[in-house]
Chain A
């Protein structure tokens, strides 16, 4: 995989342990990682930074992941969106999949190697889109 320093991935989760573990695990991956512990924080970052990939949780106090995705679809339609949620509620999953165009719905607990691979795929997808 080519070095692509311009790629930035933003993780959104209300739980810092989750964010930290992801950041740690993906530290050696060839992209920049940004963290947001709420949807609002994510929107702030998005306003300042150039983001290619976004991975968000769904159930968060304040703005939910679904709402965040909604905003991003409107404001930053080119961002590749992934969901990383602990939900097992099929209805909730279905709702998200039907209302938002997302690259992948990943359920917690993630399988680290697969997750790493998914992010890479998302990046390739993103690069193909922009080319």
Chain B
């Protein structure tokens, strides 16, 4: 297209171009102004509320773009969320503007305007003024509201100015928000600092508390020390009590010892009782053996008594014969009487019998004497305290003689006594042992109700270290269970009242404890019971003048 050949059609176009160029210039200048218009900087030396300053700045800058009679800024209160007047260019006008706001709210234009985020130009119904409205918003929230009376009616405002106006308010809102955030931040910092101070205080308090604690610990330590001392005292007392306990323990032991002694005494008494029981049993046998000879002696003596009175009668006749010797007839008569008497009393028989009577009586007396002698020997026992030398064979002879006397109708002995040396011990106790063993056999024989005599065989021999003696019988033997308990004190198969069962246990005690020997019971398969006694051989010493050698 050619410039010089402008036609009337081209002139409006040219005008348009000129206009557009003007617009372009304006836009360009507007763009250039953006940085300065939108820069809201907070100054450190700000004495007033920076928000008001921001709003003042914003009003001034808006005024450069858009002519207005008066304007007001409302800000949202943080706590109540109410819109309150924060800044106004004119105090009087601000009251009117406030009324306008009330109207806008009533007509629900206010909320609409808030949401628009763009400049809104409306006609005020009451005053007829032109109102410029704009929300004060950031990207995230509503900060406030702008309201102004425009200066001229029908005044056209350039679009770019309106855009700049929006920019200014947006940045102002951001500045306010930044300030608020700054304030909030500062508040938090302060709070943190305060908390820090509080923490420090707390730390100090803790420190004090710790010191207090140390004090308490010290006090506690002191009181613990005191407690320790008390405990020490308690321990001392306890020890005392313990000592007392030990003392009473000792006393108890002493009492136990004393009691043991008592018990030993009782045991001794029991053994004596056992012995008495045995004696009681023996005396039944003794009585039986006594009664037999006494019986025939008595019968014989009754007989002798009769014979004697017979002889006395006869003697009287002879006396009368002497007196009347002269008288023949009398003599004859007496002779006759004598003859008759002789026949009546069997005088020849009397003469023959009397020696027998005396002989038998003598035997009876001798037997009684022997029994009494044996019994006296048996029960005449000195309690011997020290061991003496003795001949076992001699003891066996005494025991068997005694037993034979007592149990004449029950028992017979076979003795195979070897030549044995004397040994040291308690012969009377050994005799007891033998008698107990023999008594055991006698009881076994009697339990059998046998017809023949019970045979007891006693053997002795010796080797280098010991003297041996076996006492065996042909009785029924002892069952295994009884045999294992035969030496237990108070063990008896006898009926109650027939002995306490101490005989063999005493025998065991005598052989094993008093003589360090052995007493063994055995029942061979062939029958009978065998008691084996082993007495350690103690060499005879010459000086021993208490030796009992037969």
Enumerate chain A interface residues (CB-CB to B < 8 A).
14-15, 17-18, 20-22, 24-25, 27, 59-64, 84, 86-89, 107-113, 115
The CA of A59 and the CA of B409, in the complex, are separated in Å by: 7
What A residues does B299 contact at CB under 8 A? 18, 21-22, 24-25, 109-110, 112, 115
* Pairwise interchain contact A24-B300, C-beta atoms closer than 8 A: yes
- A30 CB to closest chain B CB (Å) equals 14
- A residues less than 8 Å from B81 (CB atoms): none
Interface string of B269-307 (1 = CB under 8 A from A): 000000000000000100111111111111110110010
* CB closest residue in chain B, given A14: B409
Closest 9 A/B residue pairs (Cβ): A112-B302, A86-B291, A108-B295, A21-B299, A21-B296, A109-B295, A109-B294, A108-B291, A25-B303
Contacts of A113 in B (CB 8 A): 302
The distance in angstroms between the C-alpha atoms of A22 and B302, with both chains bound, is 10
How many Å from the CB of B294 to the closest CB on chain A?
Answer: 4
Contacts of B294 in A (CB 8 A): 108-109
Q: How far is the CB of B176 from chain A (nearest CB, A)?
A: 138
Which residues on A sit within 8 Å (CB–CB) of B289?
Answer: 86
The CA-CA distance from A129 to B347 in the complex, in Å, is 37
Q: Which residues of B are found within 8 Å of A109, using beta-carbon distances?
A: 291, 294-295, 297-299
Task: Assess whether A15 is in contact with B296, with CB atoms less than 8 Å apart.
Answer: yes
Tell me if B356 is interfacial: C-beta within 8 Å of chain A: yes
Nearest Cβ distance between residue B549 and chain A, in whole angstroms?
37
Instruction: Describe A's contact surface by its main secondary structure.
Output: loop
Q: Quick check: A88 and B287 within 8 Å, CB to CB?
A: yes
- Whether a CB of chain A sits under 8 angstroms from the CB of B451 is yes
- Of residues 361 through 376 on chain B, the ones whose CB sits less than 8 Å from some CB of chain A are 363-364
Report if B353 contacts A (CB, 8 A).
yes
B327 within 8 A of A: no
Chain A residue nearest in CB terms to B495: A91
- Decide: A17 and B288 in contact? CB cutoff 8 A: no
Complex: how many Å from CA A126 to CA B435?
48
Q: A17-B293, A20-B360, A24-B303 are in contact. Are A61 and B284 (CB under 8 A)?
A: no
Q: Would A88 and B364 count as touching, CB distance under 8 A?
A: no
CB pair A25 B284 closer than 8 Å: no
**Residue contact B360 to A21, C-beta cutoff 8 Å:** yes
- Cα(A64)–Cα(B291), bound, Å: 18
Contact of B295 among A18, A61, A62, A89 (CB under 8 A): A18
For the complex, give the distance between the alpha carbons of A59 and B288 in Å. 10
Q: Is B110 positioned at the interface, with any CB of A under 8 Å from its CB? A: no
Q: Least Cβ distance of B341 to chain A in Å?
A: 14
Complex alpha-carbon distance, A60 and B408, angstroms: 11
Note all chain A residues with C-beta closer than 8 A to B356: 20
List the B side residues contacting A87 at CB < 8 Å. 284, 288
Across the two chains, which residue of chain A brings its CB closest to B301? A112
C-alpha spacing A55/B330, complex, angstroms: 47
Say yes or no: A63 contacts B451, CB within 8 Å: yes
Chain B residues, Cβ within 8 Å of A110: 295, 298-299
User: Is residue B452 within 8 Å, beta carbon to beta carbon, of the partner chain?
Assistant: yes
Report B347-360 CB contacts with A as 1/0, cut-off 8 Å: 00100010011001
Number of A-B contacts (CB under 8 A): 85
Q: Contacts of A27 on B, CB cut-off 8 Å? A: 346, 349
The interface residues of chain A lying within 8 Å CB-to-CB of B291 are: 86, 88, 107-109
In the complex formed, the residue of B with least CB distance to A84 is B295
CB of B453 closer than 8 Å to a CB of A: yes
- Interfacial residues, chain B to chain A (CB-CB below 8 A): 284, 287-300, 302-303, 306, 346, 349, 353, 356-357, 360, 363-364, 409, 449, 451-453
**A61 contacts B409, CB within 8 Å?**
yes
Interface centre among B364, B451, B453 (most CB of A within 10 A): B451
> Knowing A109-B291, A109-B298, A112-B298 touch, does A21 contact B303 (C-beta < 8 A)?
yes
Partner of A88, one of B288, B295, B296, B453: B288
Assembly CA distance A79 to B169 (angstroms): 167
- Is B360 a contact partner of A89 (Cβ separation < 8 A)? no
**Once the chains bind, are B284 and A86 in contact (CB under 8 Å)?**
no
Q: A20-B356, A22-B299, A24-B300 are in contact. List 19 more A-B contacts (CB 8 A).
A: A17-B296, A17-B360, A17-B364, A18-B292, A20-B296, A24-B357, A25-B300, A25-B302, A59-B288, A60-B409, A61-B452, A64-B451, A86-B287, A86-B290, A109-B295, A109-B297, A109-B299, A110-B299, A112-B299
Please state if A86 and B295 are interface contacts (CB–CB under 8 Å).
yes
Residues of chain A contacted by B409 (CB below 8 angstroms): 14, 59-61
Shortest Cβ distance from B288 into A: residue: A86
List A contacts of B306 (CB < 8 A).
25
Q: Let me know if A61 and B451 touch, CB within 8 A.
A: yes
Tell me, in angstroms, the Cα distance from A25 to B360 when the chains sit together: 14
Q: Cα distance A112–B306 when bound, in Å? A: 11
> In whole angstroms, what is the CA distance A109 to B300 when docked?
11
In the bound complex, CA of A87 to CA of B278 (Å): 17
Q: Considering only CB atoms, which chain B residue lies closest to A17 in the complex?
A: B296
CB distance from B140 to the nearest CB of A (A): 131
Q: Hey, which chain A residues are within 8 Å of B293, CB to CB?
A: 17
The reply to whether A17 and B451 contact each other, CB–CB distance below 8 Å, is no
For A64, what are the chain B residues with a Cβ–Cβ distance below 8 Å? 449, 451
The answer for the CA separation of A59 and B298 in the assembled complex, in Å, is 20
For B364, the chain A residues whose CB sits under 8 A away are 17
Residue of A nearest to B283 (CB): A88
Question: What residue of chain A has the Cβ atom nearest to residue B302's Cβ?
Answer: A112
**In the complex, A87→B291 CA distance in Å?**
8
Most buried by A among B296, B302, B353, B409: B296
In the complex, what residue of chain B is closest to A87 when comparing beta carbons? B288
Contacts of A84 in B (CB 8 A): 295
Contact between A18 and B296 (Cβ–Cβ < 8 Å)?
yes
On whether the beta carbons of B302 and A17 are closer than 8 Å, the reply is no
Specify the chain B residue showing the minimal Cβ separation from A67. B451
Max chain B Cβ within 10 angstroms of own Cβ: one of A22, A63, A111, A112: A112
C-alpha gap A25/B300 in the complex (Å): 7
Q: Which residue of B lies closest to A20 (CB)?
A: B360
Name the B residues within 8 Å of A115 (CB-CB): 299
- Decide: B451 and A62 in contact? CB cutoff 8 A: yes
Residues of chain A lying within 8 A (CB to CB) of residue B346: 27
